[in-house]
Amino acid sequence: MPTLSRLWSLIFNSFDVRCNVTIPSMLITRRLEFDAGHRIPSHNSQCRHMHGHRYAIEITLSGDIITDEGVAEQGMVMDYAEVKRIAKSVLVDEWDHAFLAYSGDLPVLQFLQSLEGHKTVVLDVPPTAENLALTAFQLLDTAYQDHYGNHLRLEQVRLFETPNCWADAVRKDNI
Task: Encode pLDDT of 22-62 as tens digits.
Answer: 666 899 999 999 999 999 999 999 999 999 999 999 999 99
pLDDT tens for each residue of 53-106: 999 999 999 999 999 999 899 999 999 999 999 999 999 999 999 999 999 999
Handedness of CA 59, 63, 64, 68 (dihedral sign): negative
Higher pLDDT, 127 or 1: 127
Task: For domain 25-174, give the CATH number.
Answer: 3.30.479.10
pLDDT at 15: 46
E strand map for 40-102: 51-63, 98-102
Question: Phi and psi dihedrals of 55, rounded to 5?
Answer: -80, 150
The yes-or-no verdict on residue 145 having pLDDT over 80 is yes
Q: How far is CA 131 from the centre of its chain?
A: 13
* pLDDT score, position 148: 83
Of 12, 162, 154, the residue nearest 77 (C-alpha): 154
Give me the active site residues, please.
Answer: 47, 97, 161
What does pTM read for this prediction? Answer: 0.85
